[in-house]
Structure 1
Amino acid sequence: MYIGFKILLLVILIALYHLQQGDSHVILSIKDFLNDSHSTNVDHSKAFQDAWKALCGGSGRGRELSLIIHARETYTIQPQLFEGPCVSPHIHIQIDGTIEAPRMVKDWGSKKTECWLCFGRVTGLVLNGSGVLNSHGESWWSSVGVSSRPAAVRFSGCQNILYKGLTQINSPKNHISITSCTNTTLSNIHLIAPLTSPNTDGIDISSSHNIQILSSSIKTGDDCIAIQGGSYDINITSVTCGPGHGISIGSLGKGGTSDIVQNVNVRHCTFTGTKNGARIKTWPGGQGFVKNILYEDITLINARFPIIIDQRYNYSGQKQSAGATAVKVSGVTYKYFKGTVVADVAAIKLDCDQKSGCDNIVMDNINITSSSPRTPLTSYCKFAHVISRFVSIPIKCDYHVNVQPPSAKPYAEPPAPIAISATPYAELPTALNLTSHDTA
């Protein structure tokens, strides 16, 4: 009770100071919430929880609150839930220092957690800076199964989020999870984990819409970005991916579930040494659909399987029943691909379901070459309706093939790029020039 009163008093005093100065913007430092600013305590979890309470509910409606972790400051915290809804409609956390998770699994606490830094039901959060989030996943990879490992950062049920500039290192599982969110922008972020780290996806998106991922680099041991069911209006632009497994839609339909993904644009991206590039993967027996997907202006550097639709993902080889279903794939455009591909694979692989097939698959200006000049590239195509123009690799399907020569009347243009509604936090000012109220 006494500690809570101290926090409330601190926030009130800071707010009164800024009101006297005619300023509606309250700026705090994490040091304001440390009992001893020179403490060498290895767990600063309580200070971060107290700071969140002040940010989320401490100063009244209409006021913007900021918390700063300065450069050269390092804090270690256990898994934390930062939960809304908050009183203030605008919350800003700037991390220029380093935040670390406990180095060993045993030090994460006794309770099983799905994430390290968990944001739930928060609206209007700007989380930015030049700092580092190190979740020390290396202690998890060999000792804990993937289903029991936490994500590093998770946004759940959030709206109007901007996450910008930060570097994340070595997540136990996926680095960022976005679930049931709207109007979320991730920009200029850097996600890093070794090629051999298992299931360390960069960004996983599920049941979310109006999501933008811009000007970022992702180097991990699994999908750079994975778009799961219930997601639509996704814009991915200027992302460099590799190592990793590419930018994937799916996997979808596992266990016969019904999944829907639509209106996804992936543009101006580079895949370097990735296992896959532009990938769609669905499980046999699933339901739902994938449609209106655009991969455009893609650069490949020694990638494998740069274009792949796999409707038999993790296929066991067992014969499917006569009534077996599949997630329907249609309206997928691959446009302006260039670069090099590992020579021992099918550079274009469309492995579609015999019953549902893949419809309206457009290949336009695909100019990819083998990384071994003496080994020509090949394609593999089953049960797909393909429309191709200026493709450097012959594509032959066993049914529904429609190849148009360059002299033919141009085919109907693919759907216009989807207009993604921007979030209220499209960009931050170039320089924030924040000065904290530091009691140290």
Structure 2
Amino acid sequence: MLLFRWLLFIWIAVALFSFHSRNVEGRTHFHNKPKSNGSNKKAPVSHSPVHPPSNPLDPDDPGNPKSDPHIFNVKSFGAVGDGSTDDTAAFRSAWKAACAVKSGVLLAPSDCVFKITSTIFSGPCKPGLVFQVDGVLMPPDGPDRWPKSDSKQQWLVFYRLNGMTFTGIGTIEGNGQKWWELPCKPHRGPHGKTLPGPCDSPALIRFFMSSNLVVSGLRIQNSPKFHVKFDGCDGVMIEKLSISSPKLSPNTDGIHIEDTKSVGIYNSVIANGDDCISIGPGCSGVDIENVTCGPSHGISIGSLGVHNSQACVSNIRVRNAFIKESDNGVRIKTWQGGMGSVTGITFENIQMDNVRNCIIIDQYYCFSKRCLNQTSAVLVTDVLYKNIKGTYDGRSPPMHFACSDTVPCTNITLSEVELLPAEGEMVDDPFCWNAYGTQETLTIPPITCLQDGEPHSLSETSIYRC
């Protein structure tokens, strides 16, 4: 009997050990990548760069072995986040650390207000860098608080980066009010006049000489000048931004791009005191969709050709946009005396609500009445307006094509354009000057001033093409 009990005990122990071994192998097989080169090491677990892992230990403690080594919380580098302490040094240190590792994340956490001075965050950095703002990030409050040694042209600059993401659920607060009130700003001086400068004001966020960028999710507001600017970039994806400043805040373009290619701007809401989106010289391959603008100065290509310069813009597509309570709808604006061309432009499925100058090409763009008419101009050709509908402010005709005397606009196509006055009687005389194109459908209001065919001087315009 004793021998039988001993054998039974051994059999149960062996069975339990076998069952436990099978469970361990099952979990290992499910969670880990296939083994390579005969190694028994488990594959590393990568945490999401967007949300830091929860940890019973202090995640802000840089000595905590269980904290994610890829996340660099600026508070771990000395940032206070009380809205008055200068946290610039902490952000620069956190940037340096995040830049040096693959998939590094600089984290500005929620429930904090961080103040930093003008800073250039430069690369190159390791791939997958994320600058994540979940709290509030802001510059000094107005020109009097701006350090004299800092540039007044820009605040946050991201330079020579490839594959960076700028994101978060937080707010970039520009503290622009005191900049807008400078007497050199339009109509801010005594008796409503603009006084001489200097009038430098910083663009809030600038991406310069960078590629493969993603900007998403943030609220950006009250910039002293441009809210977000891309200069010399290639490959930009902008999505789900909320940009806002007051209607009368001067020069506060929402998104400005120049010398930048392959850009997508999607699912964003912009209200500001200047162009909702402005597209400068050297841009091509720009896709804008599901954007709401207003109040603003609309979506603008230009201004182009200032100081007799060459400007080349091509392959711009704006679709499914809503523009409301704005000075302009979709606009192309060029200076007299410029060179180059604007070509391959599509404005499609756009709803207007009480917009002045719904559709406008202005090749006589000028800040004053003293600008002289010049022989050369930026050629505007191959522009499609399709399914543009809504209401306009009756103070101006809803369609305005003012083209150069010597370089006419060509191949303008209108299809399903129906614009009615928001109130009052219909303006039944859209304006055209030296503009050539076709109407695929009758427009409302009717436009009879658009010339058919091509101008006799068309062969000469080839010298203006880029």
Same fold flag (TM > 0.5)? yes
Q: Which one of the candidate residues 89, 93, 113 is aligned to 1:46?
A: 89
Aligned to 2:369: 316
Kindly provide the amino acid, as one letter, of the partner of residue 29 in structure 1. Answer: N
User: Aligned in 2, Cα 1:312/1:39: closer, same or farther, shift over 3 Å?
Assistant: closer
Q: CA deviation at 1:396?
A: 2.3
**1:132-143 alignment, distance < 5 Å:** 132-143=171-182
Superposed displacement of residue 378, structure 1: 3.3
Please state how far the C-alpha of 1:371 moved relative to its aligned partner: 1.0
Match of 1:300 among 345, 349, 352: 352
- Aligned partner of 1:107 in structure 2 is 145
Contact kept, 8 Å, 1:312 with 1:353, in 2: the verdict is yes
Residue identity in the other structure for 2:93:
D
Q: CA deviation at 1:336?
A: 0.5
Cα pair distance change 1:202/1:41, threshold 3 Å:
closer
* 2:243 alignment partner in structure 1: 191
1:175·1:201 contact (CA, 8 Å) conserved in 2? Answer: yes
Give the Å deviation of 1:139.
1.0
Q: 2-side partners of 1:333 and 1:17: how far apart?
A: 59
Change (3 A) 1:103 1:16: closer
- How far apart are 1:107 and its partner, in Å? 1.6
Q: Quick check: 357-366 or 337-346, which moved more? A: 337-346
Is it true that 1:289 corresponds to 2:329 in the alignment? no
Change (3 A) 1:212 1:381: same
AA aligned opposite 2:373 = Q
What does 1:182-221 align with in structure 2 at a 5 Å threshold? 182-221=234-273
Q: Matches of 2:217 and 2:397 in 1, distance apart? A: 37
Letter in 1 for 2:95: W
* Post-superposition offset of 1:306: 0.6
**Contact 1:370 1:377 (8 Å CA) reproduced:** no
Q: CA deviation at 1:186?
A: 1.0
Which stretch of structure 1 is more off in the superposition, 310-319 or 220-229?
310-319
The residue number in structure 2 matching 1:94 is: 132
Aligned residue for 2:37? Answer: none
1:14, CA displacement in angstroms? 6.2
Matched, 1:56 2:109: no
1:80 equivalent among 112, 119, 136: 119
SS state at 1:52 partner: helix
Instruction: Confirm or deny that 1:151 pairs with 2:190.
Output: no
Q: Counterparts of 2:428 and 2:253 in 1: how far apart (Å)?
A: 28
Question: Cα 1:136–1:124, aligned 2, differ >3 Å: closer, same or farther?
Answer: same
In the TM superposition, residue 67 of structure 1 has moved relative to its aligned partner by: 2.3
Aligned amino acid, residue 257 of structure 1: S
Question: Per-residue displacement from partner, 1:234-288 (whole Å, max 9, x unpaired)?
Answer: 1111110011100000000011000000000001101100000110000011100
Stretch moving more, 368-377 or 69-78: 368-377
CA distance in 2, matches of 1:212, 1:32: 35
Higher relative contact order (CA 8 A, sep 6+): 1
In 1, Cα distance between equivalents of 2:428 and 2:254: 29
What is the TM-score normalised by the length of structure 2? Answer: 0.77
**1:400 Cα offset (Å):** 4.0
C-alpha contact (below 8 Å) 1:383/1:397 kept by paired residues: no
Q: 1:144 to 1:109 in 2, by over 3 A?
A: farther
In structure 2, how many angstroms separate the alpha carbons of the residues matched to 1:83 and 1:285?
37
Aligned residues: 379
CA contact (8 A) 2:82 2:113 kept: no
The answer on 1:326 being equivalent to 2:364 is no
Query: Retained in 2: the 8 A contact 1:383–1:400?
Result: no
Higher mean Cα deviation, 235-244 or 63-72? 63-72
Question: Is the 8 Å Cα contact of residues 15 and 26 (structure 1) preserved in structure 2?
Answer: no
Residues 55, 65 of structure 1: 8 Å contact kept: yes
User: Are residue 171 (structure 1) and residue 214 (structure 2) matched?
Assistant: no
More deviation, 257-266/339-348: 339-348
SS state of the match for residue 86, structure 2?
coil
Equivalent position SS for 2:449:
coil
Asked if 2 retains the 8 angstrom alpha-carbon contact of 1:345 and 1:377, the reply is: no
Q: Which amino acid aligns with 1:190?
A: S
Unaligned runs of 5+ in 2: 1-60, 186-198, 455-466
Over the residues paired in the alignment, what is the CA RMSD in angstroms? 2.3
Q: Name the structure 2 match of 1:364.
A: 415
1:422 matched residue in structure 2: none
Give me the whole-angstrom Cα distance separating, in 1, the residues matched to 2:131 and 2:436: 49
Alpha-carbon offset, residue 127 of structure 1: 1.1
**Once the 2 structures are TM-superposed, how far is the Cα of residue 151 of structure 1 from its aligned partner?**
0.1
Give the Å deviation of 1:316: 3.5
- Indicate conservation of the 8 Å contact 1:14/1:26, yes or no: no
Cα 1:109–1:371 change in 2 (3 A) is same
* Residues 346 and 40 of structure 1, relative CA distance in 2, 3 Å threshold: closer
Tell me, yes or no, if structure 1 residue 353 matches structure 2 residue 404.
yes
Tell me the amino acid that sits aligned with residue 49 of structure 1. R
User: Aligned partner of 1:303: which letter?
Assistant: V
Are the equivalent residues in 2 in contact too, given 1:347–1:377 (CA < 8 A)?
no
Q: Which residue of 2 aligns with 1:415?
A: none
Q: Could you tell me the TM-score, scaled by structure 1's length?
A: 0.82
CA contact (8 A) 2:397 2:427 kept: no
Amino acid at match of 2:364: R
User: Which amino acid is the alignment partner of residue 91 of structure 1?
Assistant: L
**How is 1:408-427 mapped onto 2 (pairs within 5 angstroms)?**
none
> Take 1:15 and 1:79, find their aligned partners in 2: how far apart are those partners?
30
| Aligned mate of 1:32, from 49, 54, 76 | 76
**Contact 2:162/2:210 (CA < 8 Å) preserved in 1?**
yes
Shift in CA distance, 205/145, structure 1 to aligned 2, threshold 3 Å? farther
Identify the residue that residue 42 of structure 2 maps to in structure 1: none
Residue 110 of structure 1 aligns with an amino acid whose one-letter code is K
Q: Distance in 1 between matches of 2:316 and 2:174?
A: 30
Residue pair 1:369, 1:377 contacting (<8 A) in 2 also: no
State the shift of 1:17 in Å: 4.3
Alignment partner of 1:395 is 2:447: yes
| Cα-to-partner distance string for 1:282-335 (whole Å, 9 max, x where unaligned) | 0011100000000000000111101000011117366535xx200000000000
- Where do 4+ consecutive residues of structure 1 move more than 3 Å? 13-18, 37-41, 144-147, 315-321, 373-378, 398-402
